[in-house]
Chains A and B, each alone.
Chain A
Amino acid sequence: MKKTILFTLVLLLAGCYPDETLTVPVTQPNVQLETDLDKFIETNFREKYGMAIRYRFVDRYIKPTQRVAPPKLEVVQPMLDFIQKFWIDPFLEVQNGEAYFRTHVPAEVVLLGGFIYNDDGTVVLGTADAGAQITFTYVNAIDPADKEWEALQLHTVYHEFAHIVHQRHKLPPDFEKISPAGYTSPGFWVSLPMKMPSSGVLCHRMPPAPRTKILPRPWPSICTTRILLRSL
């Protein structure tokens, strides 16, 4: 009986410990509105479209086998202007475009300074991750007079944005039957010189190995983007 009372007393005392303050460091939120640039991003991208812009490099943006340079601080604002002018504004200017953009915009946009280099020597131009993130690469080379850089970024962002859209709305019925030959999967897409192949396929996915079984798989987004942005 005495032991039971003593045990209960200990439990009660332990439960009424007066100071419940944590003695371990609390993780700081990953938001640092320290600079004018951060405030600009907060006001013009996160609050307006729910789109966080990540320009401070975090290693989770790439795989452990990949290498990339972070963006220079001085290119971030020009890149934001580029994104606003050539990606956001065109949708705001067309019918139903704003609702469409707001509905499909990724929650996170990552800026990287250079290309992402894989350990096999290939490079990644941009990525769209699970419909929630789009990554711009090669941002450090921004130059308003460089039309090739401009075209590369536009191809990349509209291509990646199309991935997000197609994940939600699929492809048109019977689209796969139009030109079933000429696609390879799985792998990664590469930009090819603008030539007209008889297959009607303007983009290809490289098989991971020469002897990998090749399966037909239409992948219209880059094709559509290239046709829309450049005439053949």
Chain B
Amino acid sequence: MTDEPNCLTPECEARNAGRELVREKLTAIMEHYKKVVGVDLEAVRNAVQAKLN
């Protein structure tokens, strides 16, 4: 998930601000899973994606 480059409008900046919040929440959840159940959700995601492709 990457930011939109060269933002020239407030709407674009708002979307990028939203992306930053989502990244923050995603990081928090993934670290939480590693801590409490020892599972890397990114690895689970990769396993699912490999089967989808």
A residues contacting B by CB (< 8 A) are 85-86, 89-91, 93-97, 99-100, 103-104, 150, 154, 165, 169, 171-172, 174-175, 178-179, 196-202, 220, 223-224, 227-229, 231-232
Distance A200 CA – B18 CA, assembled complex (angstroms): 4
Report yes or no: A196 in contact with B29, Cβ–Cβ below 8 A.
no
24 contacts between A and B (CB under 8 A): A86-B51, A90-B44, A91-B39, A91-B47, A93-B47, A95-B39, A103-B37, A165-B33, A175-B28, A175-B29, A178-B24, A196-B18, A197-B18, A198-B17, A200-B20, A200-B22, A201-B18, A220-B25, A224-B25, A224-B26, A227-B1, A228-B45, A229-B45, A229-B49
Report yes or no: A86 in contact with B48, Cβ–Cβ below 8 A.
yes
Instruction: Give B26's nearest chain A residue, CB to CB.
Output: A227
Report yes or no: B15 in contact with A196, Cβ–Cβ below 8 A.
yes
Distance A133 CA – B36 CA, assembled complex (angstroms): 22
Counting chain B CB atoms within 10 Å of each CB, the highest count among A197, A223, A231 belongs to: A197
Instruction: Give A162's nearest chain B residue, CB to CB.
Output: B29
Question: Distance in Å from the Cβ of B39 to the closest Cβ of chain A?
Answer: 5
Distance A106 CA – B18 CA, assembled complex (angstroms): 34
Counting chain A CB atoms within 10 Å of each CB, the highest count among B1, B21, B31, B33 belongs to: B21
Report yes or no: A199 in contact with B18, Cβ–Cβ below 8 A.
yes
Distance A93 CA – B47 CA, assembled complex (angstroms): 7
- The 8 Å CB contact of A220, one of B15, B29, B37, B42, is B29
Report yes or no: B26 in contact with A178, Cβ–Cβ below 8 A.
no
| B8 interface hit (Cβ, 8 Å) | no
Question: Distance in Å from the Cβ of A60 to the closest Cβ of chain B?
Answer: 31
Residues of B within 8 A of A200 (CB): 17-22, 24-25
Distance A78 CA – B34 CA, assembled complex (angstroms): 32
Report yes or no: B37 in contact with A94, Cβ–Cβ below 8 A.
no
Q: Given known contacts A96-B38, A171-B32, is B51 in contact with A179 (CB within 8 Å)?
A: no
Residues of A within 8 A of B43 (CB): 93-95, 97
Question: Distance in Å from the Cβ of B30 to the closest Cβ of chain A?
Answer: 8
